[in-house]
Amino acid sequence: MGRIHLKDVRKDFGEMTVIPPLNLEIDDGEFVVFVGPSGCGKSTLLRLIAGLENTTSGAIEIDGKDATDLPPGKRGLAMVFQSYALYPHLSVAQNIAFPMRMAGLDKAEQARRIDNAARVLNLTDYLDRKPGQLSGGQRQRVAIGRAIVREPSAFLFDEPLSNLDAALRVGMRLEISELHKRLDTTMIYVTHDQVEAMTMADKIVVLNKGRIEQVGSPLELYDNPRNLFVAKFIGSPM
């Protein structure tokens, strides 16, 4: 599970077309990175997939079913927000439990999933702390934990590491890659950082003004950039 097809998906904001009709197939278990300069439409595309924005036209299929008009909570996806989206007055366990409380899961199931997420994320010893008593990296893990307990078919990340310092960012990149291997679930990861894209992706989608310039593995893009934009952005010799 975690196959996502975008079919002629288009998004206008008023008079402005931010995403001209776009086609993209994401396979089960892939780590896909949307990369491109600021303002090119990465977040908009991710929010369309999440259901946080409605498409102007076109269709979105998730695991073979039409999801174009489904609300975010019914798509089986989980968006990971930056760590500052945590509730400061709630403990780590309560923060992680929050989406399950909303969904009305019973206490035993909540406890099982919190345990599991805490184990995967090395947060077992921190469940009673408040976000203010955690490091930046730990806070980011809590934000990821909140997504894991929903057991989504795909995780959506929008520049999750952009408010961490450089050293921490490198560590968190590795952690997210490890998490992807362990969970074997589709991940879509938005960044404007070429290094992040090249080191984390199975498949990179290079965006420019809402259009896909090229899709391919890091090596394919590096060795065979389709045009100067991709070459410059990926940093390959041309």
Applying CB under 6 A, which residues contact ligand ADP?
13, 18, 36, 38-44
> Which of ligand ADP, Mg ion, none does 84 bind, CB closer than 5 to 8 A by kind?
none
- Pairing verdict, β 203-208 and 211-216: antiparallel
Minimum distance, C-beta of residue 220 to ligand ADP, in the bound complex (Å) = 22
Distance in Å, CB of 6 to ligand ADP, minimum: 15
Which contacts qualify for 94-101: CB closer than 8 Å, 24 or more apart? 95/131, 95/142, 95/145, 95/146, 96/123, 96/127, 96/142, 96/145, 96/146, 96/149, 97/149, 98/146, 99/146, 99/149, 99/150, 100/149, 100/150
Question: Least distance in Å: CB of 65 to Mg ion?
Answer: 27
Closer residue to ligand ADP in complex, CB, 24/149: 24
Reduce the DSSP state of residue 214 to 3 states and report it.
strand
Select 38 or 167, whichever has its Cβ closest to ligand ADP: 38
φ, ψ for residue 208 (rounded to 5)? -145, 115
Q: Which is nearer to Mg ion, 48 or 96 (CB)?
A: 48
Answer with the entry of ligand ADP, Mg ion, none that 55 interacts with (C-beta below 5 to 8 A by kind): none
Given the rule CB under 5 A, which residues bind Mg ion?
Answer: 43
